[in-house]
Amino acid sequence: MVTENKKQAIYFLFFKSAAFLSVLILLFVLLYIFEEGVGAININFLTNMWSHRDITQGGILQAIVGTLFLAAGVSIISIPVGVCTAIHLNEYAKDNQFNRIIKLAIRNLAGVPSVIYGIFGLAFFAIFLKLGGSLISASLTLGCMTLPWIITASEEALKAVPFSFREGSYALGATKWQTIKRNVLPHSFSGMLTGSILGISRAMGETAPIIMVGATFFISGLPSSPFDKFMALPYHLFILATQHSSPYARQYALSTALVLVVLIFALNFGVFLWRYKLRKKKKW
């Protein structure tokens, strides 16, 4: 038995280290990006337009704005469809072939490689629908990719509403829609919203789906219509890291990465805080 306990201690130590390795990796990534990237961060970097000739004179304003526009576009496209799909799956769907297929489709969409979304977007939105390389093509493409995440997050929020609420409502003679509208949606709304924000923040970091449908490295000025090409933080950082010839490119890549990471983590952290506050308030 003594040997068993000793064995256990060793294995458990290994397991514990493995688990904390993840913490280390995350901390390392965040700290590294921060330390390397913070050097070039200043007001000019964040608020100036990109200067093609001498990149040290310019800033990444357009990439920031482009990413935000994209986030808005993706939200408009994927959140309504995603939430309604979740409502169908959780409140209406019976266990039949149709719904099993829908659920299968959603799970598979979540596993499709990002570059495949990219070429699909190219072939369908940009070429077939003649939307060209543009904010709207990219929003639609990314929107398809984000849809399964929104659906899953919204389903979780709906599931969190206890069945007893619905039961009490039906027993009072409410119809299904009355029950959903008055008793389920109000209490799942913030969960769906925060889950959607998390999904959108993931979309903001994606590069492959937007490479071929409108993201460019340099445009002059800001996009003025959804049919314009646009700059975006992940693509900007990618080009700086791999194809740019300026000696400052690497530094700027790291700084752009820092801005992107800060943006995404700020959203995640905001959601985390919001959910924490909500959980404390919740009386059920």
- Please, which of residues 111-170 interact with another protein by CB under 8 A? 111-120, 122-124, 127-128, 144, 147-148, 151, 164-165, 167-170
C-beta of 53 vs 229, nearer to another protein? 229
Query: What is the x/- site pattern for another protein, positions 181-220, by CB under 8 A?
Result: -xx---x-------------xx-xxxxx--xx--------
Distance between CA atoms of residues 169 and 158, nearest Å: 16
284 binds another protein, rule: CB under 8 A: yes
- Looking at residue 39, its amino acid is G
Minimum CB separation from another protein for residue 86, in Å? 9
Minimum CB separation from another protein for residue 240, in Å? 9
| Distant-in-sequence, close-in-space partners of 143: CB < 8 Å, separation ≥ 6 | 73, 74, 77, 78
Dihedral sign, CA of 37, 39, 40, 46?
Answer: positive
Minimum CB separation from another protein for residue 51, in Å? 21
- How many residues would you count in the chain? 284
2 binds another protein, rule: CB under 8 A: no
Contact 89, 102 (CB under 8 A): yes
Dihedral sign, CA of 123, 127, 133, 135?
Answer: negative
C-beta of 15 vs 246, nearer to another protein? 15
Minimum CB separation from another protein for residue 34, in Å? 12
Residues 4-23 that bind another protein (CB under 8 A): 4-5, 7-8, 11-12, 14-23
- The H-assigned helical ranges of 160-219 are 163-171, 176-179, 185-204, 208-211
Question: Which residue of 74, 136, 197, 260 would you call a contact of another protein, by CB under 8 A?
Answer: 260
Q: If DSSP codes are grouped into helix, strand and coil, which group holds residue 219?
A: coil
